[in-house]
Amino acid sequence: MKEIFVRKLKVTLCLFLLMVVLIHIVIDFVPSADYMSCRCLSKATGTLDHLSPSSILAAQNKLNLRNLQDFSSSNSSLEKGFHSTEGVSHVGGLSNVDLQDANIKQPETKEKPTQKIKSKLSALFHHPLYKIPIPKVTKKDKLFGTASCDVVGLFSASLNRVWPARDTSAFLNQNAHPAWLSFYSGINRYELYARHDPSRHDLMEDLAKQKIISSVQKPGGTQLKLIMTFPNHGQALFKPMKQTRDQETSADFFYFSDFERHNAEISAFHLDRILDFRRIPPVSGRLVNISKEIRDITTDKKLFKTFFISPAGNICFFGECSYYCSTEHALCGKPDQLEGSMAALLPDKMIAERESWRSPWRRSYSKFKKAEWELNENYCAQVQKTPPYNNMTRLLSLIDMTVLDFLMGNMDRHHYETFEKFGNHTFYLHLDNGRGFGRHSHDEMSILTPLHQCCIIKKSTFLRLQLLATEPFLLSDVMRESLASDPLSPVLSEPHLEALDRRLKKILAMVENCKKADGHKEVIVDDLKGNQYF
């Protein structure tokens, strides 16, 4: 009897252990909620016809929550979250009257005091002027419909055309939510990225740290640029370091032969965000090993042939381009480490067409000739009669771009781009800013010609410029703090930061002169009463 009992006990224990193992196996094979919500990613190697409605809806809900996290509430609920502007009412002309005109309600005195923010940059982004919501984003206002799955389907189709031999399904399964995909999904008619979109931070992390698996030279352009690819198929435009922080562009250089600086690209992104334009794709600095991350992995034979070892024992290369691509202007590492800017690439034009517009105030790009706007003081009146600038919004957006360019000293704004899907009713893309921040000791007033000749500016832009001229939010201070987060910090030398404050004062002085000549209402165009966005 004992033996029979022992055998039964052993059999029972074995069955129990078997049941436990089976339960664990079943749990491991049950798909997670995240996978089910984007299961279309594994099937998106074709067109959008293969996507199931349930997966698109799930992805859409997630995406909408992410993109609209700061703008989902109504104006009244937004106003309740504003910090008190009591300390700002007496500085720099930004009075309580200005805030009331901007439809920004002051919080009630009974509210509990918020924790004091020591960071000037955080305080700036908590200011009411940086909490003005964009309109509700509908399906037609999004660059890629309503779901991130749309982007993947389109991207996969274009990827298969470029690399037909590659199996993109493996990439899609392993990288369900790459940062570049979230960035693309968030692009809409009103902004390139949301004010507090977490995907922006994730994307900048990728630009700074992701492994580089491919480096090839970007065709065209006057100076050397590389397109770098990451394992998750994200891509970045790499501009190598050509000048040190303390070097200043010679006054004898023409603007069209100036160097393109990596730190100018980085700084332009931060300045654009501080001005609340958000029209420059994310840019991060990065220290690149030009042996392992360029030479050893490039498939570009022409680029590979330009590598050499300098007499000092450093790895150098120069590529092929119109300017500064020679042994005399080679880019050398120390011994193989080279700084550069990594800018997130916009969606390929095969899946998101962009239209290029020639700037009305484009320079002549000649050593001898002057452009028409340099000879005709009434040139703006002519521009205002010419489509698309007969639309006041388009002209005001160009003035915004002028303000950005003057602050960083960029004379090389010959064209700008917009997403073709949105027609004339969208923002300008502020691309290619490498020729900014060249001369801190000189303020090129001709850059402000559009503002000087047209004498108009958005009220929202004007109020933010006034705010950035005050001590609590001084432009040089918030720029210094913002740039401190970059891996290559310090990105700008102190003279360049000081130049920002000096130039800002000149912009405000020009606006004041316009107001004296034409009147406040004619110069300050109110874009805060329901007509800020087209």
Report the range of poorest mean pLDDT among 145-149, 346-350, 389-393: 145-149
Which residue among 98, 206, 300, 412 is the active-site one?
412
For residues 419 and 431, is the Cβ–Cβ distance under 8 A? no
pLDDT recorded at residue 96: 41
180 vs 293, 346, 355, CA distance in Å?
Answer: 20, 9, 22
Name the more confident of 15 and 166.
15
| Mean pLDDT, range 9-15, rounded to an integer | 77
Q: How much is the mean pLDDT over the chain?
A: 81
pLDDT recorded at residue 211: 97
What is the reported pTM? 0.77
Q: What is the pLDDT of residues 175-206, one digit of tens each?
A: 568 999 999 999 999 999 999 988 899 999 99
pLDDT recorded at residue 47: 38
Tokens of 86: 């009591």
Coil, helix or strand at residue 276: coil
**Which of 6-15, 65-74, 97-106, 148-157: highest mean pLDDT?**
6-15
Binding residues for Mn(2+): 260, 432
Q: What does the alpha-carbon distance between residue 137 and residue 288 come to, in Å, rounded to a whole number? A: 39
pLDDT recorded at residue 384: 95
pLDDT recorded at residue 101: 47
Binding residues for ATP: 223, 239, 260, 343-346, 417, 432
| Mean pLDDT, range 461-486, rounded to an integer | 97
Quick one: how far is CA 196 from the chain centroid?
A: 12
Residue 73's pLDDT band, with cuts at 50, 70 and 90, is: very low
Q: Which residues pair with 288 in a beta bridge?
A: 338
pLDDT recorded at residue 66: 39
Report the range of poorest mean pLDDT among 45-54, 240-249, 315-324, 464-473: 45-54
| Mean pLDDT, range 267-290, rounded to an integer | 98
Q: What is the pLDDT of residues 329-374, one digit of tens each?
A: 899 999 999 999 999 999 999 999 999 999 999 998 888 899 999 9
Closest to 272 in 3D by CA, of 174, 62, 421, 416? 416
Residue 75's pLDDT band, with cuts at 50, 70 and 90, is: very low
Name the more confident of 431 and 114.
431
Q: Is 70 an annotated catalytic residue? A: no
For residues 285 and 486, is the Cβ–Cβ distance under 8 A? yes
Report the range of poorest mean pLDDT among 71-85, 97-111, 408-422, 517-531: 71-85
Residue 108's pLDDT band, with cuts at 50, 70 and 90, is: very low
Residues 26-59 as b/e (b if ≥16 CB within 10 A, e otherwise) read eeeeeeeeeeebbbbbbbbbeebeebeeebbebb
pLDDT recorded at residue 16: 75
- The set of residues, in sequence order, having a beta carbon less than 8 Å from that of 389 and lying 6+ positions away, is 360, 383, 395, 398
Q: What is the pLDDT of residues 229-268, one digit of tens each?
A: 999 999 999 999 998 888 888 787 776 778 889 999 999 9
Alpha-carbon dihedral sign for residues 414, 419, 424, 429 = negative
Give the percent of the chain with pLDDT over 90: 62
pLDDT recorded at residue 7: 75
